[in-house]
Chain A
């Protein structure tokens, strides 16, 4: 019986995942959340089944009763998250809640498979972040004058990134972490959110003629600090967020064109100036030719994806632990190897639907500040997903960023959850004010 289950399980998981991700897009056919309710129930069923069947698979394969305990605890927390969110904020966007839980679930399953200790740690951070996240919509509702403090936000971001540059030790050629009281913070992760608020504040509150210059100056300092810390992945994300927010905020195509030209010039300069950029481009161009050195990671990642094929090897039948940093930057390769490329593509679709929903929410705001915050966070999220999945599949050179909500890493998951909650908070506030105003 167990072998029959193990034989069929990977196909069942792919089917359930396809159902879930298809529903992510069918929600866009309906305008109101009320009409979408039926879809969300199907999604919740598919999500719970995927989670249950995966853990059953893990349990049958390993025979470890501890995993059953982990499953029950985590499943209860995820269900509670959905329930509490819906009770506390009836106006919340349920697609985003579902997707948030779905991505966390997939992350936890693959982490249990890869490294149980890390999965436990990840879960603890998830719980803490969810508690934080749940109060964020409330905070946003209360502090409506946040936009006026753009100077403070800009200064805070610059101070944090400078502190990293000055005080942190270099690991793998980059400076990333600040240690405060024994806890390590990856400042560039947290500053992302502050940066979006600062940019939105500048682009709405500063005198119209000066906006673009001040925004460019503040963004420029952020990006330069990141480049100086050799955190190029974050540098690219900040830059793109700035360009797109400027374009949306100023409503001028020239900013988009100039910004993209700047990106091109910056990439060429980066390639010329930094040997680690050249190394990554070489590894991207020819992973097998550089397999003994820089191409090793990407080659192992492609071995994993290619060997797994469309339907995957099945949980525990692959060798994802051969990929360096598989639990963080390369988690997509591990998921593709064991669950299959079809499952991986569904995962991409879920991430894309989150992005589209973020942008969709941005369009609904009349208030430009909120609109820009939503666009900024959407681009932060969407671009990061593109960089990480594009990197591990050799679509673009590796930038070394994580897959939000799925990858292991306390900073990454906390910031991703805060981002989702901020969007949710903005959405809730605009929906409830619309309701109050009768609009």
Chain B
């Protein structure tokens, strides 16, 4: 089997699959069989490469050729040229955005240069549906090592690594394990929180799709450490591919004796079950998640008691997020010391971010803690799309805040982001440019939290609704300066009084944008203008002197608001205009402007 001269890796993540990477895999396999090289060239469907912007990705090894935006019809050329004749298909190579020259070796891509892949170490490298490839990468070696240690030794190692929860809270993982370990009970549980509900974040899904065994292994390690024999993965039903890969991994681990009774001949037994979420953002909160797993409405309850004391069916339960678990096997393979050397003083290791929005390289990246936003946005992300001006980056999803130009050189870690009025969150990073209106962005997040509020506590249920109404008033041009004071006051009240993390942080997008972009809010409520020219209610169309009087606009206007004589500059009657924009798109002389 090692006679393979070449491996062709095709991304099989959700993004690439939806642009036909499945067909590409089939096509490659067939084309390679047709030339009788199936014993020399191996085609592997892997997890996400992270470079989603240019998917589907096809990578050829050992020469590290990186083909982007491959279509099924390109398969034949790749095989006949690259595989048979050793000539790279130039037109499919990734092009350096600055020099416009094709880059043949992915090692030379800026996108990968600054990254450090720990949690994503196997994503885009192994076939996630083949346990042996995981084992070949030292898979389950960490579990084997752990089984020779005492429970407390395992916990100490995790504590020493400095790993903090990657789901958003940043609580020290080792300490959490210790609490669960010290609570004595006949049954304990390990829960993996894979209810990734933060819109625009897809790191957990990519790990489950690309390297499910790392989660299985880490959960078993955690089970051993805290004394649990049962693991549960709570996963969104909206992630069918991740569910399938995880089911496949669990079945394979059972078959190989890595899950089940007496793992590797020891006294330790552990097994994992999957539980489906049903679409409720609040279920990312651990007490709500536990209620949901019990078949109830996913409403949070006050802590204490913490799940470590009374969780699933009132038994001690340890809940960790997917990315947190993905770091565990590495800590045992390379040692806590190795891990704790990466990152900043209080935030160790790396962090995976889902980079999205107005950025050139949308994708999944992993960088050491302490990397600056500038490096992430400009070096890895390739800068702002279409050469526009950077305005803000939103981190932490609906619970987070916005960071601007002046924060670009801040090293990213848990504490720095908090100090800057945002938060790490699960790792969504949405880049915005000059065209994004901040009050409208705040409104977008509030729409989300108001809709996702479970309704249990009043500050969140009613408060988010009121915040949303005020924001709607502001973006529709009916806002007054007094509304800004109300926004601030109400936001603080919600922050102080809501029951769970969702409510307590729901007003963050408002507070953060209000603080950083106060001018923009003032422009909306005092001058009734939208500086980003996004809020259509605040815009007025005007015909400039560029108008040649072709009458195209007056004919297309549905309400007859445009008047003027042929070959003379036309005018818009603002009182009649419904701001549909039809005239603007019809005008061939760019004579109609939005102001």
Partners in one complex: no
